[in-house]
Copies of this chain bind each other. A is one copy, B any other.
Amino acid sequence: MRFAFTDEQLLFRDAVRDLLDKECPPEAVRYAWVSEDGRADHVWEALAEMGVIGLTVPEAFGGLGLSELDLVLLLEETGRVALPEPIVETTAVAVPLLDAVASDELKAEWLPKIAAGDAIVAVGFVGTPFVLHANVADLLVLEREDRLFALPAARARIERQPSVDGARRLYTVDWNRNDEIPLVSGEEGWHQVNAAFDRGALGTAAQLLGLADHLLAVTVEYVKQREQFGVPVGSFQAVKHHLADALLRLEFARPVVYHAAYSMAHELDTRSRDVSMAKCFASEAAALVARKALQCHGAIGYTVEYDLHLWMKRVWALAASWGDAAYHRSRVALDVLGPAGASGAGSPTSSR
């Protein structure tokens, strides 16, 4: 029994953190809000360089062939800097899915390009109504009624759906059925969609941990220096307890998320339930931290010239993506209590 990461995993995490601190400062996130394609410059390439983008790509296709457990800390770091890139969609979701169901040709065509940082894959399932960054995707992996298929970006007709988070470029997608490149369908399709949904929910939960960590850290710094009534506002017990509650929720969501990554990597029978617990805890913890962060900042946190809102809006968006807390709680109830006890629960493909 050892519930901790290896030194290698921690060193990789530190290296990625250093890279992102350098390559993805708040200005990069601001830039993504206004840039044509909604992305930050160079970060994707730098991450690919380091092996992060291709982390889940089998070594045979030029990746590192690593697991969810190796990825979870890195995705947490991408959340910490509010990375405006579809890394969860491409690295956490699309790659394992393609690896599991795509033809050898398709894998040979796409996996190396992804690992090299030369290709982005966007995904869209019924459980995730909008396709993130479809505008810059080279390939789309979509699902309708458990029918999984790939769609060349050129064949997709996309319509932007503006999000409260200007760095999240969401789209609805339309296409001609005969442009579909079939992957898998039927019951196997349903299983693969569920697995993909679990990976997306887990990756998003990890990013929420990082986002919340950052929000709490900047708030702590702010209340230490901000003075009112002749003392730092951080010396008021009400502020102390707001932030103690924020840390409490965050620190108890953390092991739940890491445990879910372990379950996925080891394909434990409980993995779907564990992932739902993770997304439920991470969504609610991050939402609480964001709420406390704004309240403890006061009016300045309410301005777009201050960075806080970039993180806060990402939290709002991700907390409700890949199934919100209520949805995942129902999924846990379905597993623990059985259909009888758990009214209102649904499968990941029931629309949220």
Q: Which residues of A approach B to under 8 Å, CB–CB?
A: 236-238, 241, 343
Question: Which residues of chain B are within 8 angstroms of A343 by Cβ–Cβ distance?
Answer: 343
A237: B residues at CB distance < 8 A: 236-238
Copy tally for this chain in the complex stands at: 2
Could you list 6 examples of A-B contacts with CB < 8 Å?
Answer: A236-B237, A237-B237, A237-B238, A238-B238, A238-B241, A343-B343
CB distance from A230 to the nearest CB of B (A): 16
| B contact residues around A238 at 8 Å (CB) | 237-238, 241
- Distance in Å from the Cβ of A296 to the closest Cβ of chain B? 14
Q: How far is the CA of A238 from the CA of B236 in the complex (A)?
A: 9
Q: In the assembly, what is the distance between CA of A61 and CA of B59, in Å?
A: 94
Q: How far is the CA of A343 from the CA of B238 in the complex (A)?
A: 39
Q: What's the minimum C-beta distance from A261 to chain B, rounded to whole angstroms?
A: 36
Tell me how far the C-beta of A16 lies from the nearest C-beta in chain B, rounded to whole angstroms.
39
Q: Chain B nearest CB: distance from A342 CB in Å?
A: 13
Closest chain B residue, CB of each to CB of A236: B237
A236: chain B residues within 8 A (beta carbon):
237
Bound-state CA distance A337–B239 (Å) is: 39
Nearest 5 A-B pairs (CB), nearest first? Answer: A237-B237, A237-B238, A238-B241, A236-B237, A238-B238
The smallest beta-carbon distance between A330 and chain B, in angstroms, is: 14
Min C-beta distance of A298 to chain B, whole Å: 16
Write out the residue numbers on chain B whose beta carbons fall within 8 Å of the beta carbon of A241.
238
Docked CA distance A93–B236 (Å): 50
Q: Which residue of B lies closest to A238 (CB)?
A: B237
Q: How far is the CA of A244 from the CA of B325 in the complex (A)?
A: 30
Rounded to whole Å, the gap between the CB of A319 and the closest CB of chain B is: 25
Cβ-closest chain B residue relative to A237: B237
Closest to A344 in B: B343
Distance in Å: Cβ of A343 to nearest Cβ of chain B: 7
Docked Cα-Cα span, A343 to B344, in Å, equals: 10
